[in-house]
Amino acid sequence: MSFRTMMQSGPAKANELFSRLAETSDGALKTREKLFAELKAELELHTSLEEQHLFPILRRNAETKELVVEATRDNKELRAKLAELDAMAKNDPAFAETLAELQKAFRQHARDDKKELLPAVQRALSDEQVQNITEKMEASLAEAEQAKQDEAEERRAKAKQERENAEFAARQAELRAQQAAAAEKERADAEARASADARRVADAVIAPVVAATKAAEKVTGLVATGADVQRRSQAQTKALTNMFMWPWAGAMQTLQPAANSAAARGPSGMEEVIPLGEEVLEVGKRTENRGTARIHRFVVETPVEQQVTLMSEKVVVERRRPVSDKVTGEILTEVTVEIVETEEVPTVAKRTRLREEVVVRTERTQRVETVKATVRRDEVEIGQADPKRGNRQLRSVAAEG
């Protein structure tokens, strides 16, 4: 790329961004912010290339020294307008007017460079100096482009990481909701089982009382009528009722009588059912967050060196005696011979290549873990009277699973 082409490519791209930015409306805030950021980067790159690589050489030349002063003043004005636009809200009605002023100033700056600065550079500097400036500018442009690509890659990686974090948080929230629903269901099932057990205990407790009451009523009906007999019958009924009810008086204060009652076998015997329960160990599973692994890519700079073989040509002046004194060419006249000395110098260029890839994934493994806990069960003790010894023998009966 020639020096003139490079100096004109920056303004051409900037003018394109100016046109696209002017076509946006106040409502297209995101698009306007994105285009302005690109325009700002392009103008700052253009002015920095001039001030870093071109102006220092032109200041040392008397012919171009004054042009550098004017160009530096123009760059300061451009930066001031850029700062004003950068601080302004992009949907501000004054944004378009200020942008038009910046575009006008930049176009004038580009015309001055084309008509005055570029011809002065061609006249004042040698081809070697111009080529050296061009190479330096190309290297700076390549570095700026690489920085833009790295920044874009970093933004994409950051956006991807944010999406993955959001998806992980959503999965965790869904998992917690499922765990909460499972816990609520388990609690409801436990309450239902406890209620059913309570109803069975109540039925077992109230069944003997109901049977005793019916037996007393039946005995009372068989006794002959009469005032004395009736009183005795009532007293016997009350005594019989108290005999059966006093062991269960405490339980009847907290439990409601059941609707269904067990039928007695007969007036001389009853059946009672005492339920025996036990706890069963149920082991479930839930997923917990054990930490988040973050892989961050960053750039490190490593000094490298490489040897290169360079060639150089130098003019050698050698005087020698002729083989014969015969004149073979024109003599006794002024002759000037110019020979160009050349020398190779190393040039540095960098390119990017893929060194390796880092793959991040999760792997699942299975393991068997023994869960230990303590469960409870019901047992009963049976006290039985021994008619020979006059005491009670106790037996312990465990519930059969």
pLDDT tens track for 35-84: 888 888 888 888 888 888 888 888 887 778 888 888 888 888 888 888 88
Residues in contact with 139: Cβ distance below 8 Å, sequence separation at least 6, in sequence order = 348, 349
Candidates 195, 215, 222; CA nearest to 261 is 215
Tokens representing residue 370 in the block: 């023994």
Residues in contact with 67: Cβ distance below 8 Å, sequence separation at least 6, in sequence order = 58, 116, 117, 120
Candidates 21, 168, 157, 155; CA nearest to 96 is 21
In this predicted model, what pLDDT tens digit does every residue of 137-169 receive, in sequence order? 888 888 888 888 888 888 888 888 889 899 998
Residue pair 248/208 in contact (Cβ under 8 Å)? The answer is yes
Residue pair 49/24 in contact (Cβ under 8 Å)? The answer is no
Question: Mean pLDDT across the stretch 309-332?
Answer: 81
Please list the alpha-helical segments (H only) found in 54-126: 55-59, 65-87, 93-112, 118-124
Res. 397: pLDDT tops 50: no
Pick the CATH number of 3-125 from 3.30.420.40, 3.40.718.10, 1.20.120.520, 2.60.260.20: 1.20.120.520
Mean pLDDT of the residues in the chain: 78
Question: Mean pLDDT across the stretch 177-200?
Answer: 90
Instruction: Tell me whether strands 342-343 and 312-313 are parallel, antiparallel or unpaired.
Output: antiparallel
pLDDT given at position 228: 56
Res. 381: pLDDT tops 70: yes
CA distance 344 to 397: 107
**Measured between alpha carbons, how far is residue 164 from residues 154, 171, 189, 288 in Å?**
15, 10, 37, 18
Q: Hey, which residues does 381 pair with through a beta bridge? A: 396
pLDDT given at position 374: 93
What is the rounded (10 degree) CA torsion for 150, 151, 154, 156?
Answer: -110
CA atoms within 13 A on the CB side of 19: 7
pLDDT given at position 181: 92
pLDDT given at position 239: 52
CA distance 395 to 382: 5
Q: How confident is the model at residue 362 (pLDDT cuts 50, 70, 90)?
A: confident
Candidates 289, 302, 39, 47; CA nearest to 175 is 289
pLDDT given at position 10: 75
Q: Using alpha carbons only, give the angle 312, 4, 13 rounded to the nearest 5 degrees.
A: 130
pLDDT given at position 391: 47
Residue pair 277/222 in contact (Cβ under 8 Å)? The answer is no
Question: Mean pLDDT across the stretch 246-275?
Answer: 53
Category of 296 on φ-ψ map: left (φ > 0), alpha (ψ -120 to 50) or beta: beta
- Helix 29-49, helix 127-222: angle, nearest 10: 150
Of residues 239 and 351, more confidence is placed in: 351
Question: What is the SS3 assignment for 128?
Answer: helix
pLDDT given at position 286: 87
What is the rounded (10 degree) CA torsion for 309, 313, 316, 321?
Answer: 90
Beta-carbon count within 10 A of 258 CB: 17
Q: What is the pTM of this model?
A: 0.38
Instruction: Tell me whether strands 392-398 and 312-313 are parallel, antiparallel or unpaired.
Output: unpaired
**Measured between alpha carbons, how far is residue 299 from residues 140, 164, 302 in Å?**
18, 23, 10
CA distance 68 to 74: 10
Residues in contact with 251: Cβ distance below 8 Å, sequence separation at least 6, in sequence order = 201, 202, 205
Please state the φ and ψ torsions of residue 63, each to the nearest 5 degrees: -70, -35
Please, where in the chain does CATH 1.20.120.520 lie? 3-125
CA distance 209 to 244: 6
CA distance 350 to 145: 12
- Dmax of the chain from CA atoms? 186
With a pLDDT cut of 90, the percent of the chain lying above it is 6
Res. 376: pLDDT tops 90: yes
CA distance 374 to 397: 20
Q: How confident is the model at residue 224 (pLDDT cuts 50, 70, 90)?
A: very low
Residues in contact with 102: Cβ distance below 8 Å, sequence separation at least 6, in sequence order = 78, 81, 82, 85
